[in-house]
Chain A
Amino acid sequence: MIELAWLIPVFPVIGVLINGLFGKHVGENAGPIASGMAGLSFLVVLGIAGQMIFGAGGSHTIPLWTWVEAGSLSVSMSFLIDPLSTIMLLVVSGVGFLVHVYAVGYMHGDPGYPRFFTYLNLFMLSMFLLVLGDNYLVMFVGWEGVGLCSYLLIGFWYEKQSASDAGKKAFIVNRIGDAGFLLGMFLIWTLTGSLTYTEVFQAAPEMSAAMASAVGLLLFVGAVGKSAQIPLYVWLPDAMEGPTPVSALIHAATMVTAGVYMVARTSPIYVMGPDAMSVIAVVGALTGLFAASIGLVQNDIKRVLAYSTVSQLGFMFMALGVGAFTAAIFHLMTHAFFKGLLFLGSGSVIHALHHAPEEQQQDMRYMGGLKDKMPITYWTFLIGAIAIAGVPPLAGFWSKDEILANAFFTGHYTVWIMGTVAAFMTAFYMFRLIFMTFHGEMRVDHHAREHIHESPPTMTVPLVILAVLSVIGGVIPGFPPEGGWIHRFLAPSLAKMPAGGHAMDQGVHLMNAAAGGGHSGPAVVLLIVLAIAVAVGGIALAWYMYVKDTGAPRRLYRSIPGIYYLLLGKYYVDEIYQACIVEPTYKLMRGLWTFDAKVVDGAVNGSSLITMVSSRFSGIFDLRTVDGAVNGTASFIRFFSQVFKYLQSGMVQNYLFVMLLGIFVMLSAYLFR
């Protein structure tokens, strides 16, 4: 079964070809075709995963063909199936398939229906390449491919100015990260002479800490772009202009986690470079806190979820930074379940409010009381919210708590505090969203009210499946903490932090030993209690402010308007970027344009003037001298031929006479010389 891994990306290719080339003829069948292809890929993945999980496991390379062979650089197109890529494949193809099915209902009637599913399958193909590649170059191809699909799908409704702007923004911001990824690849090749994972990681232990950190930081720049971390996170909230299934699949569950996957994949290099790890931990924690705080006050349902995604990605990087690679991948998986669920749920809500005015469809201030109108959406959404808030035994608790515990036990206390605060905010803003959307009185536009309805089964069935996964997706693979199935399964793929690598770790280990030995004992219990308290506290606060005492938010805003506007304006990061980067770039561009218009064009026009003058002179020379010589020869010949032509009398006797005369003269000359 594992040898059939090449089939996984083949099905989406077929889908792309059918829907892309014959979209007009396929019409409404595009959705089922694309979903079927995604489903077939999912089946193959299930087979492979079954063999990997219940069979021997291990790591398998499936070579397909040699791709680049130039000098000492040799890159082959081959796939790597190991525990890490198996987990990623399950997430990508599973959530991808569900989103395809959901989109069949959600996108129904859209004029770009076949185009949408072409892009969606193209995305699946790129994502599979990214995950399956056994070297950095194949990963990069997938990396760029998902970036392209992200651009295409964000700008799917390109007639809308904001959508096409958001697409461009995502693409341009991602380019910055991609440049870092490329440089990181160059450095890896310079250091190890290879791009294949196995060979690079064999050489990794010989790297100096500085070089390993340099590689790590460059690759992390790529991850920062793709996974929307500070300072390149700005594109992700704007990416919500795309259709909601796209937000669920690309901007929550799969593509944005590519950076996490890449860092986890590169873990053998990262453990050699502690400085890079620290940077990742700090950036992750900052992003987690920063984005969560923005999410507190946003009113657009999808933007809340977008900032939540940025924040949760921050959690994953926090985990990577403190060396808890398994926890990061675990959180990636659970996050894919519940954030995919939340996005699809919000899509269901937006779908129901289809008849409301455009600017009110996604605004929570114009929702409320939807609980009874759409029960399936409500209950699944509630499960997703509880899962992300971190209430046991739902999925989010196990992975998030593991990240925070790892941060604590490796001595990153600042990171741990920031993470805990962010977790509190997460619980709060998620339930603020729930209460504003589904509870309280209905504030929907009157015309739209009678059109509110539960979504069709193609949309609710994926919701239910994802809700089930959000319930059991954490406890089954992750229990008991730090010793669950997923830890044993992923162990061969991920590097371990060297014990006692940091001076700080030493102290921590001593302290842990004093506190009851290792990762068990009173400290763990305390952390778990604290995590649950934080989650429940956030929910309770949201309940108090948005159900019990609905005047509270207004009073709070009155007392601290500065902070409120700072958060509502998203810390004015977009405006700062506009002023510090975009405007200077425009200025530089205008300056260069002036230079181009004045100097470059001047030089070009000047040289053309010189050419014209010199050609005028050479034209005169040609007319007078060269033509004169030619015509002179001709008229010379014509003049003399006028004279001599009379010799040709046509009379044979004349000729004979001249001939005889000649002979006579010659003979005379001969005889009388």
Chain B
Amino acid sequence: MIARSFKTAVRCRTLFLMLLPAFVLVIVFSYIPMAGIAMAFQQFRYGHGFFGSPWVGLANFRFFFSSGMAWRVTRNTFLYNIAFLILNTTVQITVAIMISEIGSKWFKRVTQTCLLLPHFISWVVVSSMAYGLFNFENGLINNTLAVFGGNPIDVYGNPRAWIFILPLVNLWKAVGFGSIIYMAAIAGLDAELKDSAEVDGANIFQRIWHITLPGIIPTILILTLLAIGQIFRGNFQLFFQMVGDNGLLLPTTDIIDTYVFRSLRFTPELGMPAAAGLYQSAMSFVTIMLTNYLVRCVDKDYALF
């Protein structure tokens, strides 16, 4: 048995070597830090260290659930992520299909580059750009409105506006990068299928609907499942840079990550943020297991595991 394993290992040595960096990375950055979960149940003290700090049971979890905000921020996190998921996936697929159907190489490249650019702008810069657009006195929007005699709008004082602004900004930043993967999937489809469909008289929409889309369903499902695994983890950068500590907007924009940061950035206790992180992980774990189970029920081949 062992001899056979060795033989396999030797035969696939190149593959194993290629796997090695990823394997090391996962061990070092994902598995070893997992032991830090223990901190969620400790009152951590440098002097006593990781093994000597006193255990405090569930005390570190109390702050989150006793705040009366747990429901609100969990709901916000979940709903925003659902909105991001649906909006991003739909637009990314549409864009990927459109770009791959375009004949002109030059046009294709320019469009793709323009779409990809926002991905490389940091959230800090995006937030200043947003401030330049939305600020009440000197913002581009209000200045434009003033030229046409309109009344200025107070975006930073209107929590409802951000329910739309945040998904749109997120989409603007994510669409170019996200569509690359779908484009790759489309490029991997058998071109002959499309050609023969064309010869048989299928128009472009029929070709997309019957050939391209079914062909990339596995990719869509895998990416969606991966995104669902992150559904209780908010995009801290997006929310914190765009909204900051603006109390007027928090009812609709406070997510678990920003809430925890705002509560604990001055606290000396390391256990409390660890507890909040564990809560998110546990919620995400349950969601991903459940979704994967449901996908398995429909079609085994589409499930992650």
Partners in one complex: no
What residues make up the interface of B, taking CB atoms closer than 8 Å to A?
none
What residues make up the interface of A, taking CB atoms closer than 8 Å to B?
none
